[in-house]
């Protein structure tokens, strides 16, 4: 977060504590809508509602779209009829699609009634696609000409306002079907009477509106353009375009979702969500972890007699579990990234498994020797060093195997590996590590 945003947060919270009746000392006009959204999300809900009054009316929609859904809904629930009226007075189709799930149906209907036929058609078209498909989020502000146009027609079009992320003029036939694109820089120096069809950008392939957003971003990454055309799957009609901005937003949200999912949280969770709601969400995850902890404790309990006789084993148990856990998390992270990028297939899974087992075996032997020597000197027993060394080799090998297989299995079960992979992996490495260490101790020391 920038220093400017931090200063606004301090200023607003301190002011709220001092005197809630006076207006805030500064308006927020000097901030971009994305910065305002981040600022509002960083404030407790009572201060957030007060700070909203400092947002300019023309920024209402942009700020709300930039906010996470839960924080946005906390504000929308507090809006009076006048504020909702101002919000819906000039919404375009793209913005209403983003806000529709957070607004009451009657407010969406009012916003639609205020749109012209063109924008209303764009909204209905976008709303016909599921939330994870590209067609729902296309940008309709683009430069379009009939495919039989000439350079002078494009020059005339460019004299009007050019939308952001515009590098091409898109060409369509009389039925609206996409026929090609001409890069704007190709127009410079071309004869005014030259047909645009002679200047087609042959490398620019359109995206299918039925394409999942993630797959569309993968295609976009290699396109090296500011926008790509989006067409219908049925007849190739030009629906709009996917811009660089949308691609960045989807990728950013994907990374944030993985980060939050690793702790059992949702990426849309409000930083200042009500205590009961946050507690309920986190209690479920804590309960799952508690069950896995009981499983590990049960495994330890099987060797209670051994622990009573050889106290050194109790001291060294965390070392075995920790080494396996770290080794497994490294493999798991690598696998989750590979699955997200589409790098893992049935063809390369076996070679990858062999590679990770080889890495685990090499590291297991190396660190088994180090830890074994330390344990032998510490407890003055070569047998204890041998036991913990063997246990570390077994656990790191099991961690490598689990780190490869767990995310693949979870993906096939349609479960996000980033959400539950680490919990399952930790349970496996704990149980295998404890059973291996205490089982070997029972065989060799008791």
Which has more confidence, 180 or 284?
A: 180
Whether residues 323 and 389 fall in one domain: yes
Residue 374 lies in a domain: yes
Is 167 within a domain? yes
Distance CA 289, CA 429 (A): 14
Query: Does 41 reside within a domain?
Result: yes
- Domain annotation covers residue 254: no
Give me the percent of the chain exceeding a pLDDT of 90: 28
Would you state the pLDDT for residue 22?
43
Same domain, 118 and 152: no
Band of the pLDDT at 406, cuts 50, 70, 90?
A: very high
pLDDT of residue 23: 44
Per the structure, the complete domain to which residue 196 belongs is given by 144-244
Q: What is the pLDDT of residue 24?
A: 45
pTM of the model: 0.62
Render pLDDT for 135-149 as a digit per residue (tens, 0 to 9). 999 999 889 999 999
Same domain, 295 and 411: yes
Confidence bin at 250 (pLDDT 50/70/90): confident
Do 197 and 116 fall within a single domain? no
pLDDT tens digits for range 257-267: 666 665 555 55
Is residue 353 situated within a structural domain? Answer: yes
Are residues 240 and 338 part of one domain? no
pLDDT cut 70: percent of the chain above it: 85
Domain count, the chain: 3
Is 261 inside a domain boundary? no
**Are both 287 and 432 inside the same structural domain?**
yes
The pLDDT of 364-377, averaged and rounded, is 92
| Interval 276-281 mean pLDDT | 66
Tell me, what's the pLDDT at 21? 42
Over the stretch 384-401, which tens digit does the pLDDT of each residue have?
A: 999 999 999 999 999 999
Residue 351 falls inside a structural domain: yes
| pLDDT tens for each residue of 170-199 | 999 999 999 999 999 999 888 999 999 889
> Taking all residues of the chain, what is their mean pLDDT, rounded to a whole number?
83
The answer on 434 and 291 residing in a single domain is yes
Tell me if 230 is assigned to some domain.
yes
CATH of the domain at 66: 1.25.60
Tens digit of pLDDT for each residue in 312-353?
888 888 899 889 888 888 898 888 888 876 778 888 888 889
Same domain for 174 and 108, yes or no, is no
Q: Are residues 23 and 65 in the same domain?
A: yes
Q: Pick from 75, 99, 128: which residue ends a domain?
A: 128
Question: CATH number of the domain that 417 lies in?
Answer: 1.10.357.20
291 and 425 share one domain: yes
SS (H, E, C) the chain: CCHHHHHHHHHHHHHHHHCCCCCCCCCCCCCCHHHHHHHHHCCCHHHHHHHHCCCCHHHHHHHHHHCCHHHHHHHHCCCCHHHHHHHHCCCCHHHHHHHHHHCCHHHHHHHHHHCCHHHHHHHHHHHCCCCCEHHHHCECCCCEEECCCEHHHHHHHHCCCCCCCCCEEEEECCCCEEEEEEEHHHCCCCCCCCEHHHHECCCCCCEECCCEHHHHHHHHHCCCCCEEEEECCCCCEEEEEEEHHHHHHHHHHHHHHHHHHCCCCCCCCCCCCCHHHHHHHHHHHHHHHHHHHHHHHHHHHCCHHHHHHCHHHHHHHHHHHHHHHHHHHHHHHHHHHHHHCCCCCHHHHHHHHHHHHHHHHHHHHHHHHHHHHHHHHHHCCHHHHHHHHHHHHHHHHHHHHHHHHHHHHHHHCCCCHHHHHHHHHHHHHHHHHHHHHHHHHHHHHC
Please indicate, yes or no, whether residues 208 and 319 belong to a single structural domain of this protein: no
Q: Sort residue 210 into left (φ over 0), alpha (ψ -120 to 50) or beta.
A: alpha
Judge if 124 and 34 occupy the same domain. Answer: yes
* CATH code of the domain covering residue 223: 3.10.580.10
Among 226, 244, 262, the domain-final residue is 244
Does 413 or 282 have the greater pLDDT score? 413
Task: Answer with the one of 244, 263, 295 that is the final residue of a domain.
Answer: 244
């Amino acid at each position: 977060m920038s220093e400017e945003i931090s200063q606004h947060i301090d200023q607003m919270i301190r002011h709220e504590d001092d005197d809630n009746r006076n207006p805030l000392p500064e308006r927020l006009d000097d901030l971009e809508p994305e910065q305002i959204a981040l600022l509002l999300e960083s404030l407790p809900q009572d201060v957030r509602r007060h700070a909203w009054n400092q947002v300019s009316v023309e920024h209402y929609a942009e700020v709300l779209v930039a906010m996470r859904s839960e924080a946005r809904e906390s504000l929308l629930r507090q809006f009076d009829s006048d504020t909702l009226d101002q919000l819906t007075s000039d919404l375009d189709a793209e913005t209403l699609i983003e806000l529709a799930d957070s607004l009451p149906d009657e407010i969406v209907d009012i916003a639609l009634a205020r749109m012209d036929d063109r924008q209303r058609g764009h909204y209905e078209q976008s709303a016909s696609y599921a939330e994870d498909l590209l067609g729902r989020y296309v940008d309709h502000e683009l430069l379009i000409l009939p495919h039989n146009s000439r350079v002078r027609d494009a020059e005339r079009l460019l004299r009007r306002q050019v939308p952001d992320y515009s590098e091409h003029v898109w060409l369509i036939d009389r039925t609206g079907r996409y026929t090609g694109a001409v890069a704007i820089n190709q127009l410079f120096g071309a004869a005014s009477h030259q047909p645009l069809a002679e200047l087609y950008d042959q490398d620019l392939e359109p995206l299918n509106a039925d394409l999942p957003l993630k797959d569309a971003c993968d295609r976009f990454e290699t396109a090296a353009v500011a926008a790509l055309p989006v067409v219908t799957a049925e007849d190739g009609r030009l629906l709009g375009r996917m811009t660089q901005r949308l691609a960045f937003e989807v990728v950013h949200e994907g990374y944030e979702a993985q980060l939050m999912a690793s702790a059992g949280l949702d990426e849309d969770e409000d930083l200042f969500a009500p205590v009961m709601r946050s507690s309920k969400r986190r209690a479920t995850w804590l309960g799952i972890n508690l069950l896995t902890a009981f499983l590990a404790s049960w495994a330890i309990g099987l060797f209670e007699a051994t622990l009573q006789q050889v106290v050194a084993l109790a001291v060294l148990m965390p070392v075995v579990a920790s080494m396996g856990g770290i080794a497994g998390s490294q493999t798991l992270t690598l696998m989750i990234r590979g699955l997200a990028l589409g790098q893992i297939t049935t063809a390369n899974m076996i070679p990858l498994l062999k590679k990770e087992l080889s890495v685990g075996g090499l590291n297991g032997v190396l660190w088994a020797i180090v830890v074994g020597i330390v344990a032998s000197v510490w407890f003055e027993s070569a047998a204890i060093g041998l036991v913990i060394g063997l246990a570390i080799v077994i656990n790191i090998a099991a961690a490598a195997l689990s780190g490869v297989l767990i995310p693949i299995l979870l993906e096939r079960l349609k479960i996000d590996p980033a959400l539950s992979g680490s919990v399952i992996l930790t349970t496996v490495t704990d149980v295998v590590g404890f059973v291996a260490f205490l089982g070997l101790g029972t065989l060799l020391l008791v």
